[in-house]
Amino acid sequence: MEHSSSSNTTSELTTADDSKATILLMGLRRCGKSSICKVVFHSMQPLDTLYLESTSKPTTEHFSTLIDLSVMELPGQLNYFEPNYDSERLFQNVGALVYVIDSQDEYLNALANLSMIIEYAYKVNPKINIEVLIHKVDGLSEDFKLDTQRDIMQRIGDELLDLGLEGVSISFYLTSIFDHTIYEAFSRIVQKLIVELPFLENMLDNLVQQSNIEKCFLFDVNSKIYVSTDSSPVDIQTYEVCAEFVDVILDLENLYKSTETTGFMDKEMMGVSKLNNGVYIYLKQMIRGLALVGLIRTNTTGNNNNNNFLAVIDYNVDIFKKGLQEIWAHTRLNKQNQISTSSTFVDNTNDPRHNLITSSNI
Amino acid sequence: MSNLNNKKTSNINQSVTNGGRKKLLLMGRSGSGKSSMRSIIFSNYSAFDTRRLGATIDVEHSHLRFLGNMTLNLWDCGGQDVFMENYFQQQKDHIFQMVQVLIHVFDVESTEVLKDIEIFTRALTLLKKYSPDAKIFVLLHKMDLVQLDKRQELFQIMMSKLRDTSTAYGFPEIVGFPTSIWDESLYKAWSQIVCSLIPNMTQYQKNCKEIANIMECRELILFEKTTFLVVCSNEMKYNGDNNTAGLISQQQQQQHNGLDPKRFEKISNIMKNFKQSSVKMKSSSFKSLIMRNSGIYVCELTSNLMCFIVLKDPSQQEQLVLNNIKRIQKYFS
């Protein structure tokens, strides 16, 4: 997986090519933008982010998971509405605007700033997704979190109403870098930018139904963001366990990586762990730095042919992987041919879901 | 790979002499991190959680069963001067009798090094009187607060000083470790401390080696199940007395097989974290972890041992490996 970060000058960054989905990370100074970037994309320890210096230049990072994603971080102290700053082009190329609000600080300034940005961005690019992270909630008590969220939502709603912008939909997330909420929030933000998402979800649903998997995620191995999951509700604890499992497998793999073979992922990673209460956690590497992690619950009462159902899952997951490869090949092809992407592959005739076998038949 | 069924490997249990109760004293000045260590190793705290721990009042006892027949009585002695004075005066026969192991913790950031050492010598004097056979371990704790390039030097200076002191008080063989709760060094230290208490260690090692040969393992490590401390492996000798040469032999080992010399502790750390997160799934612990394509198998061996196997050839049949693991269980039960 490519993993490059660079600090660009503004002229370069505004000419980012359109094939990349871009996330713009904004917020007042010291609200925690760089920390978020470091923790999510560079797996820095949350406590180490205390020593980060103030960001002075816009920085961009590129990631290629299933989609090519770039995250652009803007310094907080800049004023984007100075006439010499080309903010119009900046907002035009952006898929999502993520605004970070420090919930432990006085946030009225941030809200004023936000509504100004929304007004401008929405005018330039009405299709932009606006996401608000109510950040650093780890220091707030449970009641206070909800109060803060309600207060912020209310105030922004009022502000936008005053500005005459009623159709803007804004999503709110309560986040902290000290737990998994930030990954969860970023997962949802990234998912909005993936045009193939409904199809992916559908494939995962099929896989889950046919193989008795309780819940499965498609993880980006390096950042632990999940690109997609099946349509059953996400339980944060399940997510945490699955994310940790990715780490366990990666770490163990790295310890015993044979030195002769230089390529990191020449061998497909996979791992199965059995827990005491009959739960299995299953991981298999997919394409492009993605890994499928599933949670399988078996009835503990005397079902000894475990290898049978794991074989079924193996088989089905392989088919799922082929499906993924096909999707990716198609999107690539489409982009090269400059055809509009979103709908061409849905009527894919050799749909892999027909090949799935059901574990109930065995 | 041959089948283990017909091979003769002597059973651990036959040579078990009942280890009985072991008394471990955990001492050191107040704030040096004694209770934090204990909570991480034996009570599944994360390093972050130890912030909540307050000062230990007097002595806190904990009894831990280790490898089935061994009971560790850990005496966590609160380190404030009032309590310390009390241990050395009124309670001295109570505290220092029948001690198997003294673990003395030094805070590397401490400003009163001389006072730290003075307390160490007082403990040694009483130990000489009441239990002269005790083993002494010293831990230079909070090493994460020292710059990376200065750690080794600081450790050497401190150790030579402590070794001189302890020799003068009749304990010529002390073993020291640099530790920190924020990395895996803590597991290394405690693994060796606890392993020095296991009576039939040689038997474990012999079995380990033979089984690793028969199963064609690149590596076979045995872990204690609840604490995930390393008991033994097919390669390294895990007892305290070769520690002075530890650094050199580890370097050689790394050149020899190209593996990370800290891997044992890292595995302890990784698996323990995973165990904690699997608790969230309302399961007490995990049973097995199989990474088929890389030939890594982690399985329960007995009610208190986990084995960690890395195969030389990952393409071996999974079922065969699992069967063999089932067969070796009886040599460790």
Q: pLDDT, tens digit, for every residue of B219-239?
A: 888 888 888 888 888 775 443
3-state helix, strand, coil in chain A (%, to 5): 45, 20, 35
Chain A residues with beta carbon closer than 8 angstroms to that of B323: none
> Quick one: fold of B200-332?
Beta-Lactamase (3.30.450)
Taking the model in full, what pTM does it have? 0.78
DSSP H/E element including A341 = none
Spell out which residues of chain B touch residue A237, defining contact as CB-CB under 8 Å: 280-281
Residue type, A233: P
The Cα–Cα gap between A220 and A223 comes to: 6
- Residue A40 has a CB neighbour count (10 Å cut-off) of 20
Residue A205: exposure state from Cβ atoms within 10 A (0-12, 13-18, ≥19): middle
* Residues of chain B found within 8 Å of residue A224, distances taken between Cβ atoms: none
Which one of A45, A241, A255 makes the best mutation probe of the B interface by having the most chain B beta carbons within 10 Å?
A255
Could you give all domains of chain A from N- to C-terminal order, each with its CATH number? 2-191 (3.40.50.300), 197-361 (3.30.450.190)
Four-point Cα dihedral B117, B118, B119, B125, nearest 10:
110
pLDDT at A81: 61
- With b for 16 or more beta-carbon neighbours within 10 A and e for fewer, the B98-126 pattern comes to ebbbbbbbbbbebeeeeebbebbebbbeb
**pLDDT of the residue at B138:** 92
Rounded percentage of chain B residues whose pLDDT exceeds 70:
86
Residue B69 has pLDDT above 50, yes or no: yes
- Using the predicted structure, report yes or no on whether residue B150 has a pLDDT greater than 80: yes
pLDDT at A336: 61
Which pLDDT score is estimated for B113?
87
Q: B-chain residues within 8 Å CB-CB of A255? A: 259-260, 263, 266-267
Instruction: Report which of A199, A180, A357, A200 is spatially closest to residue A290, judged by C-alpha positions.
Output: A200
> Could you tell me which of A197, A191, A211 has the C-alpha nearest to residue A353?
A211
Say which residues have a Cβ less than 8 Å from residue A135's Cβ, sequence separation at least 6: A27, A31, A32, A36, A100, A101, A102, A103, A175, A176
SS3 A273: strand
pLDDT value of position A356: 57
β-bridge mates for residue B306, sequence order: B223, B300
For B21-196, CATH number?
3.40.50.300
Q: What is the pLDDT of residue B104?
A: 92
- Residues A80/A95/A63/A233 CA torsion (nearest 10 deg): 130
Q: Which chain B residue has the Cα nearest residue A245?
A: B274
User: How many other β-carbons are positioned within 10 Å of the β-carbon of residue A339?
Assistant: 10
Could you report the predicted ipTM of this complex, rounded to two decimals?
0.77
CB pairs below 8 Å between A and B: how many? 93
Evaluate whether A72 touches A23 at the Cβ level (below 8 Å).
yes
- The per-residue pLDDT for range B248-264, each reduced to its tens digit, is 444 444 445 667 777 88
Assign B137 a pLDDT band (cuts: 50, 70, 90).
very high
Contact residues, chain A to chain B, C-beta under 8 Å = 237-238, 240-241, 244-245, 247-249, 251-253, 255-256, 259, 267-277, 279, 281, 295, 307
**Least confident residue range of A310-314, A337-341, B18-22, B158-162:** A337-341
Q: How far is CA A324 from the centre of its chain?
A: 17
Task: Find tokens 């010499």 and name the residue.
Answer: A84
Q: Average pLDDT across each block of 10 residues of chain A; the chain has 362 residues. List them in order.
A: 40 43 81 84 74 71 67 67 65 83 85 84 84 88 87 89 82 88 88 83 88 87 85 85 88 75 61 85 85 81 62 88 84 59 40 50 42
Q: Is A271 close to B289, i.e. CB distance below 8 A?
A: yes
Encode A48-62: b = buried (16+ Cβ within 10 Å), e = exposed: ebeeeeebeebbbbb
Instruction: Write down the mean pLDDT value for chain B.
Output: 80
| Start-end of H helices in A66-217 | 87-92, 108-124, 142-163, 181-193, 197-211
Is B292's pLDDT higher than 50? Answer: yes
Question: Running DSSP on this structure, what letter comes out for residue B15?
Answer: G
Q: What is the pLDDT of residues B83-100, one digit of tens each?
A: 888 888 888 888 888 888
The domain ranges of chain B are 21-196, 200-332
